[in-house]
Amino acid sequence: MSDLNAQMLERYRNNFLEEVEANVEEGEWVKMCMQCGVCSGSCPLGPYWEHPPQEIFMMIRAGKRDEVLKSESMWMCTSCYNCIVRCPRGLPITHIMHGLAHYAERLGLAPKQNPTRRFALMFWDNIAKYGRVNEALLSLKLYFMDGFSTGIKRALEMAPVGLGLFKAKRFNPMALIAHKGCKGKKDLQKILAKAREIELAKAAKFGG
Amino acid sequence: MSEPVATNQTILVVGGGISGMTAALEAAECGKQVILVEKSPSVGGRVSQLYKYFPKMCFPTCGLEINLRRLKANRNIRLLTMAEVTRLEGEPGDYTATVRIRPRYVNENCTACGACAEAVEAEFDDEFHFGLKKRKGAYLPFTMAYPQRYVLDPRILGTEDAERAKAACKYGAIDLDMQEQTVELKVGAVVWATGWKPYDAARIQPYGYDRFKNVITSVELERIMDPNGPTGGRLVRPSDGKEAKNIAFIQCAGSRDRNHLKHCSRICCMASLKQATYLREKFGDEGKATIYYIDIRAIDRIEDFYARVKADPNVSFIKSKVASITEDRATGDVILHGVDTEGYHRYSNRHDLCVLAIGMEPSVPADQFPTELVVDENGFIQRDPANGAIFAAGCSEDALDVNRAVQSGTAAALKAIQVVNRVAGTEG
């Protein structure tokens, strides 16, 4: 094969699509997108996305690894499922968006200050630790996410809601001190550690 | 009506649209005996409902007229209208078809003078015009109908209207005692040509066909263009009768969609390109067409038609499947929302009228054939030995345009002829 041929082959070899197919949840669907655009038009948050889903699928196929994984776009997804319902090819778009966000985070490429990412991490740490969400702690952390003074302000704003929940026995402030969580927390943590190990080994094949 | 005589050398053609008529005529002109069964009161089918057909942009009044002349001239064809095949049993060379014939309440004496329609007062939705217009309880299905004979709507039976119609007829053509008949026919081979129907547009929820008056289907636009149609051939929109000078066409409305029809209906791209030329025909430079598409599938020999329409500066193409439609209540305008694929621009475009290039699905659902047939996942009849001597023609076989439907009809006729020839060989 001539040099030119080899060069062209290298240029068009799409490692990123293969990487997405191997590592991203439902990633094998990306190649099925026919670029009709109904997902982007149907997204209620569509105007706020830098790259709508349809564009992200095309960027993956064009091998734009950094642009996709460092993007804030897929973090905008609110799981309304409008895109899945309307997609003429039945792509699980919502799941792919979450899969991409998850994969970007795993590789440490996700935008650090993205609020959805920060909340997702908070949620994850909470549930991974207890096996069951400590809601009292989670909401407290959410209020104080952006510093002490805004935290106090938000907590005061939400106080009537908290009181209402407390009266209706839907909220137990004692959980802040003593949250039981699930049985066998240690085992759960072992399982999660093993899963992470497997995922990282898979990603490492693609230079992640 | 006398019972039609048929033998194992007779070919039964089910459906009197362009494919069925073609199959029947080709076989009959080869000297074979043919029985042509049509469900509605007239032959002609979907083609008769078109204003023009592509790519030559001729009127069906011409193309269909040729076939009607052939039909009238041929003694080998027996035509049964308002008839349906309810059961079909047997094997190649020996089928028994049960045919139910609904009463027309008008006999052969009818001269199509129209006196009965004038006398009758009751009005019903006109099926030929997709309910865009009303017709009388005594009616001629459409101007070119064949047989050229009036029909009484069974809903006026037992009312004063029925008596009024009878009294108005000078030729004694109205027979209110006509009964439904069931006949059994012996036939050697069957050509199945029951054609297609437009997909139910109301099921495409985001497009609001059931909510917005100015969202119509492509087949309805054909009727609006017809000089004998609901608007007398004026291209106006349903909400307020304003001239529709700015029309949006949405491609793949129901087709190529796992939520609706999986297959490509094949005709819709050409249909919209054709209909885009209607705007120039009516309004000259003032007419503007916008075609929203996933990809244009102007198949093989008619690609040049696409090129011609594309060259028209008043026709624009937006590569995008429209996500949703809303209505401006004050003006009745429709607003199309989506994101285009060439640059990912978000749009909200206002149009006078939106035409859904509606997909085509087989008329007969897969589980409702009078006999077991091998169909594909979209309900089209397959060429499968298990179907014996039942051959699909036209849109029963696949989503086809008129040209291909005629070819398919001819092919089916040839296959049926081979079967009855074999029967003739063994019977001597």
Can you list the domains of chain A with their CATH numbers? 3-111 (1.10.1060.10), 116-197 (no CATH)
Q: Tell whether B352 and B380 lie within a shared domain.
A: no
Q: Tell whether B186 and B207 lie within a shared domain.
A: no
* Chain B residue whose CA is closest to A43: B323
| Structural domain contains residue B2 | no
Q: Which chain B residues are within 8 Å of A87, Cβ to Cβ?
A: 258
Q: Tell whether B304 and B407 lie within a shared domain.
A: no
Whether residue B198 is preceded by a cis peptide bond, meaning omega within 30 degrees of 0, is no
Q: Which chain B residues are within 8 Å of A36, Cβ to Cβ?
A: 252, 294, 320-321, 341
Q: Tell whether B234 and B320 lie within a shared domain.
A: yes
Q: Which of A98, A120, A106 is nearest to A201 (CA)?
A: A106
Q: Which of helix, strand or coil describes residue A95?
A: helix
So what's the ipTM on this one? 0.86
Q: Tell whether B343 and B220 lie within a shared domain.
A: yes
B341 touches chain A (CB under 8 A): yes
Cβ within 8 Å of A, B 284-323: 294, 319-323
CB atoms under 10 Å from CB of B286, counted, come to: 12
Residue type, B403: N
| Structural domain contains residue B37 | yes
Residue A148 CA from chain centroid, whole number: 27
pLDDT band at B428 (very low <50, low <70, confident <90, very high): low
pLDDT in tens, B199-232: 999 999 999 999 999 999 999 999 999 999 999 9
Contact B344 A35 (CB under 8 A): no
Structure tokens at A109: 């490429």
The answer to whether B390 and B371 are in contact (CB under 8 A) is yes
A interface toward B at CB cutoff 8 Å? 34-38, 40-42, 46-47, 51-52, 54-55, 85-90
pLDDT band at A192 (very low <50, low <70, confident <90, very high): very high
Q: How far apart are CA B223 and CA B131, in angstroms?
A: 10
Q: Tell whether B373 and B284 lie within a shared domain.
A: no
| Structural domain contains residue B313 | yes
Q: Which chain B residues are within 8 Å of A37, Cβ to Cβ?
A: 319-321, 323, 338-341, 344
Q: Tell whether B298 and B207 lie within a shared domain.
A: yes
Mean pLDDT rounded to a whole number for chain A: 91
Name the pairing type of β-strands B77-80 and B83-91. Answer: unpaired
Q: What is the pLDDT of residue A1?
A: 58
Q: Which of A54, A87, A90 comes nearest B339 by C-beta?
A: A54
Q: Tell whether B137 and B280 lie within a shared domain.
A: no
| Structural domain contains residue B212 | yes
DSSP letters, B231-291, are TTT--B-TTT--B--EEEEEEEESSS-TTS--S--SSHHHHHHHHHHHHHHHHGGG-EEEE
- Is 60 exceeded by the pLDDT of residue A208? no
Q: Which chain A residues are within 8 Å of B206, Cβ to Cβ?
A: 42, 86
Q: What is the pLDDT of residue A200?
A: 87
What's the number of domains chain B is made of? 3
pLDDT in tens, B26-65: 999 999 999 999 999 999 999 999 999 988 899 988 889 9
B61 touches chain A (CB under 8 A): no
The b-or-e profile of B148-175 (16+ CB within 10 A means b, else e) is ebbbbbeebeeeebbebbbebbeeebbb
Beta-carbon contacts of B373 under 8 Å, excluding residues fewer than 6 positions away, are B192, B381, B387, B390
Contact B339 A51 (CB under 8 A): no
B335 touches chain A (CB under 8 A): no
Among B332, B360, B388, give the residue marking a domain's end: B360
Residue the block writes with tokens 């839907």: A170
The answer to whether B268 and B218 are in contact (CB under 8 A) is yes
Contact B341 A41 (CB under 8 A): no
| Structural domain contains residue B5 | no
Q: How far apart are CA B120 and CA B118, in angstroms?
A: 6
- Residue B313: left if φ>0, alpha if ψ -120 to 50, beta else—which one? alpha
| Domain membership of residue B145 as a residue range | 115-168
The answer to whether B135 and B120 are in contact (CB under 8 A) is no
Q: Which of B257, B294, B323 comes nearest A42 by C-beta?
A: B323
Q: Which of B38, B34, B36, B37 is nearest to B10 (CA)?
A: B34
Residue B396, φ and ψ in degrees, nearest 5:
-75, -25
pLDDT in tens, B70-117: 999 999 999 999 999 999 999 999 999 999 999 999 999 999 999 999
**Min Cα separation B338/chain A (Å):** 4
B259 touches chain A (CB under 8 A): yes
Kindly tell me the sign of the dihedral angle through the C-alpha atoms of B108, B113, B115, B120: positive
Q: Tell whether B159 and B225 lie within a shared domain.
A: no
Among B320, B338, B360, give the residue marking a domain's end: B360
Q: Tell whether B423 and B352 lie within a shared domain.
A: no
| Structural domain contains residue B1 | no
Contact A41 B322 (CB under 8 A): yes
By residue count, chain A amounts to: 208
Percentage above 90 pLDDT, chain A: 70
Structure tokens at B393: 């023609």
Q: Tell whether B298 and B212 lie within a shared domain.
A: yes
- Is 50 exceeded by the pLDDT of residue B1? no
B211 touches chain A (CB under 8 A): no
Contact B258 A90 (CB under 8 A): yes
Q: How far apart are CA B91 and CA B387, in angstroms?
A: 9
pLDDT in tens, B350-367: 999 999 999 999 999 999
The answer to whether A16 and A30 are in contact (CB under 8 A) is no
Among B304, B335, B360, give the residue marking a domain's end: B360
Percentage above 70 pLDDT, chain B: 98
Q: Tell whether B284 and B370 lie within a shared domain.
A: no
**Min Cα separation A31/chain B (Å):** 16
Beta-carbon contacts of A2 under 8 Å, excluding residues fewer than 6 positions away, are none
pTM: 0.91
| Structural domain contains residue B107 | no
Q: How far apart are CA B190 and CA B99, in angstroms?
A: 13
- Residue B45: left if φ>0, alpha if ψ -120 to 50, beta else—which one? left
Percentage above 70 pLDDT, chain A: 96
Whether residue B313 is preceded by a cis peptide bond, meaning omega within 30 degrees of 0, is no
Contact B323 A86 (CB under 8 A): yes
CATH code assigned at B86: 3.50.50.60
**Min Cα separation B289/chain A (Å):** 20
Contact B341 A34 (CB under 8 A): no
Residue B323, φ and ψ in degrees, nearest 5:
-80, -45
Q: Which of A41, A47, A88 comes nearest B324 by C-beta?
A: A41
Contact B257 A88 (CB under 8 A): yes
pLDDT in tens, B377-422: 999 999 999 999 999 999 999 999 999 999 999 999 999 999 999 9
* Chain A residue whose CA is closest to B318: A36
| Structural domain contains residue B173 | no
**Min Cα separation A70/chain B (Å):** 19
Angle of the A135-143 helix axis to the A148-167 helix axis, nearest 10: 150
